[in-house]
Amino acid sequence: MLCSTMTNAADLLAAGKIALGHGDWARARSLLSDALELDEAAETLHHLARAVEWAGDYSAAVGYYERAFVAYRALGETRLPALIAGRELSFLHGAVYGNEAVAAGWLARARRLAAESGDCVEAGWVELAEALASGDPAEMRGHAQAAAAIADRFTDADLRFCALGHEGMALVLAGRVSEGMGKLDEAAAAAAGGEVSDYITVGEIYCHMLVCCELTLDVRRAQQWMALATSFGSLSNAPWVSAICRTHYGGVLTAAGRWDDAERELESSIALYDDSYAALRSSAMVRLADLRVRQGRYDEAARLLAGFEFDSYAACPLARLHLVRGEADVARRILWRRLGNAGEHPRQVPELALLVEVEVRAGRLPDARAIGRRLEQIAARTDMPRVGALSEYAAGIICAAADEPEEALGHLETALPQFAMAGLPLEEARTRLAISQLIAASAPDVAVSEARAALRVFDTLAAAADADATAHHLRSLGEPGRAAPRGEGTLTRREKEVLAHIAEGLTNGEIAQRLYISRRTVEHHVSRIFAKLGVDTRAQAAAYVLRQRL
């Protein structure tokens, strides 16, 4: 039904395009739907697909894009069909439906049509679609540079800065962090400053920035750009931007030891994915599982990972889960499956470092040394602090297992400040524990000091399994594992919130609803609160709150 006073399809199309330019997706959709009733033109279908996509109706957007593709092809067009096939349909079929075969088919179609079209802006966008689908940094950079050259020839700012963001990500993946992040900063600044006009391009640049912040564990940069990305996602009614950015920001915060903040970002991300790119939801789920593994909440982690075992990020938490269960061979198979026969890149370092632990645990020292050498070679080619730290840590535990204490200590002492520089408190504390275990016989006083420093970090993080292992080690040194209750000062912000609701008399289920977290998460917080306060009941916890207020 026509809802506009305009009755001419051309006028409705023109008004719809203006509404799109202003970010008024609802009005654009209404106007373009009216235009479509009068004339099912290819251009109307194309712009209606964009309006519907940005209004959050992704399945409808796919349908309109497919109809626009067919309509353009019926007119003998190749350029716009190439753009739609590569930039829209290939991505949406993968992101919304998780259908990689269909996504690959549309990308192949885009490639062929771009070749038929010759030198044009649309061919540049197909190059970026190829870059996004590539798993090889060198290949990704080649496509990005090809797109940038096309953008320069046609003076297309959107294509130019999007290509710059892709090239920056390719450089980061190759280990050239400073150079890559510099390009991403420039692209994101252009997006924030209004030089980029296309909403999808702005969102894509912000997402690439947060992906690389997670790869490099750059907390400061992630915080600064995250504020702009979240604001943009909210103002433009683009939940997928916030979902993707929060996923990677949650990964950064997890590594940085800000676990309450990480949990909040990841849970928000999961909810946003439910309203947008549902097929990408697994990326937030497996990061939340990784957080649970670090916390020692293994049963929860296993439930979160169920069904998402083949997500690329799932390999490490899933392998560590099997390792703590004593299933080293299963952990080994998971990690080798993830590594495959691909070339060596810095992004493989977490899997390689964990694989060293697995091989050492299984007593396969020659295999562990071979993997350690791969880590050394990657570390020599990159300026990522955590890569060097993980390489040194791996070398340290290999030497310790081979009864080479002096060499082991040298590697671990080198890794310690590197983990601190990289802002990785859990790994830093684990290194202190490894040093303590190594020197327990030769320097017991120093060993106790290192173990106590590690335990303080584990307790602050609420890394329960690591804390318990460290307390056990301290008892083996003749020291008490833990002092008496640590008091309210060690409660995390979320634990303080839960404690306040306990004092109000709320049940775990009611607290879960109030804080928008799961009941299991509340149960975990309550358990930690009781342990920290040295109380056994909710009444005692409530009495504690009352005493503090008095």
pLDDT at 109 over 80: yes
Instruction: Say which DSSP state 343 is in.
Output: P
CATH number for the domain harbouring residue 538: 1.10.10.10
Q: Are residues 228 and 295 part of one domain?
A: no
Whether residue 164 sits in one domain with residue 237: yes
Place of tokens 């005493």: 547
Mean pLDDT value across residues 31-57: 90
Mean of pLDDT values over 359-363: 94
Tell me the torsion sign for CA atoms 402, 403, 407, 409.
positive
Domain check: are 473 and 537 in the same one?
no
Whether residue 117 lies inside any domain: the answer is: no
pLDDT, tens digit (0-9, with 9 covering 90-100), for 426-469? 999 999 999 999 999 999 999 999 999 999 999 889 888 898 89
Looking at residues 30-37, what average pLDDT do you find?
93
Into how many domains does the chain fold? 4
- The residue out of 456, 486, 516 marking a domain boundary is 486
- Within a domain: residue 75? no
In the predicted model, is pLDDT for residue 352 greater than 90?
yes
Is 197 in the same domain as 286? Answer: no
Q: What pLDDT digit, counting tens, does each position of 470-507 carry? A: 999 999 999 886 654 444 457 887 888 889 888 888 88
- Kindly tell me if the per-residue pLDDT of 550 is higher than 50: no
Dihedral angle sign, alpha carbons of residues 406, 407, 409, 413: positive
Q: What is the pTM of this model?
A: 0.73
What's the pLDDT band for 243 if we cut at 50, 70, 90? confident
- 183 in the same domain as 250: yes
Least confident segment among 8-22, 50-64, 168-182, 530-544: 530-544
Average pLDDT of the segment spanning 336-349:
77
Structural domain includes residue 77: no
pLDDT at 530: 83
pLDDT of residue 481: 67
- Which domain CATH number covers 198? 1.25.40.10
Least confident of 26-35, 183-192, 536-545: 536-545
Residues 372 and 311 in one domain: no
Q: Is residue 55 part of a domain?
A: no
In the chain, count of helices (H) and strands (E)? Answer: 30, 0
140-153, pLDDT tens digit by residue? 999 999 999 999 99
Q: Per mean pLDDT, which range of 93-97, 119-123, 410-414 is the poorest?
A: 93-97
How would you classify residue 118: left for phi > 0, otherwise alpha for psi between -120 and 50, otherwise beta? left
Q: pLDDT grade, residue 535 (50/70/90)?
A: confident
Predicted confidence at residue 484, as pLDDT, reads 43
The tens digit of pLDDT for each residue in 45-93 reads 999 999 888 777 888 999 999 999 999 999 999 999 999 999 999 988 8
Are the C-beta atoms of residues 354 and 322 closer than 8 Å to each other? no
Is residue 330 domain-resident? yes
- Residue-wise pLDDT for 376-431, tens only, equals 999 998 877 889 999 999 999 999 999 999 999 999 999 999 999 888 999 999 99
CA distances from 117 to 80, 111, 163, 313, 461 (A): 9, 10, 20, 38, 56
**Are 213 and 297 in a shared domain?**
no
On whether both 304 and 372 belong to a single domain, the answer is: no
- 356 in the same domain as 253: no
Residue 207 in this model has a pLDDT that exceeds 90: no
pLDDT for the residue numbered 74 = 96
pLDDT of amino acid 2: 47
Does some domain include residue 43? Answer: no
16, 64, 380, 477 from 40: Cα distances, Å: 14, 11, 58, 80
Averaged pLDDT of the chain: 88
Distance from C-alpha of 299 to C-alpha of 463, rounded to nearest angstrom: 15
* Judgement on whether residues 424 and 502 belong to the same structural domain of the protein: no
Of 338, 358, 386, which closes a domain?
A: 338
Same domain, yes or no, for 234 and 345?
no
Asked if residue 149 belongs to a domain, the reply is: yes
In a shared domain, residues 184 and 242: yes
The predicted structure's pLDDT at residue 5: 58
Between 531 and 151, name the one with better pLDDT. Answer: 151
Query: Domain range holding 262?
Result: 136-273
Q: Is residue 258 part of a domain?
A: yes
